[in-house]
């Protein structure tokens, strides 16, 4: 029965990893995609304007 005890943790981790990947793939896109994209675009624009201000070159 030691072989069962040795195989259970890898099998549990494989199932958990598969469930994680499925959840990530299912959460991509959908109704919130535009809102998420807008949030990322706003963050990138903010970072770019901060970088331009730090260089002393206002855009």
3-state SS of 1-50 is CHHHHHHHHHHHHHHHHHHHHHHHHHHCCCCCHHHHHHHHHHHHHHHHHH
Segment 36-50, tens digit of pLDDT: 888 889 999 999 998
The answer to whether residue 16 is domain-embedded is: no
The answer to whether residue 59 is domain-embedded is: yes
Pick the residue with more confidence: 27 or 18? Answer: 18
The answer to whether residue 51 is domain-embedded is: yes
User: Domain containing 58: what range?
Assistant: 33-59
The answer to whether residue 2 is domain-embedded is: no
Whole-prediction pTM: 0.48
The answer to whether residue 12 is domain-embedded is: no
State mean pLDDT over 28-42. 81
Give CA–CA dist 42/45, Å, rounded. Answer: 5
What is the CA angle 42-47-51, rounded to 5?
145
The answer to whether residue 38 is domain-embedded is: yes
Whether the pLDDT of residue 18 is over 90: the answer is yes
């Amino acid at each position: 029965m030691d072989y069962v005890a040795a195989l259970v943790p890898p099998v549990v981790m494989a199932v958990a990893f598969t469930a994680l990947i499925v959840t990530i793939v299912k959460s991509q896109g959908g109704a919130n995609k535009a809102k998420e994209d807008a949030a990322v675009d706003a963050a990138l624009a903010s970072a770019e304007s901060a970088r331009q201000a730090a260089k002393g070159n206002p855009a």
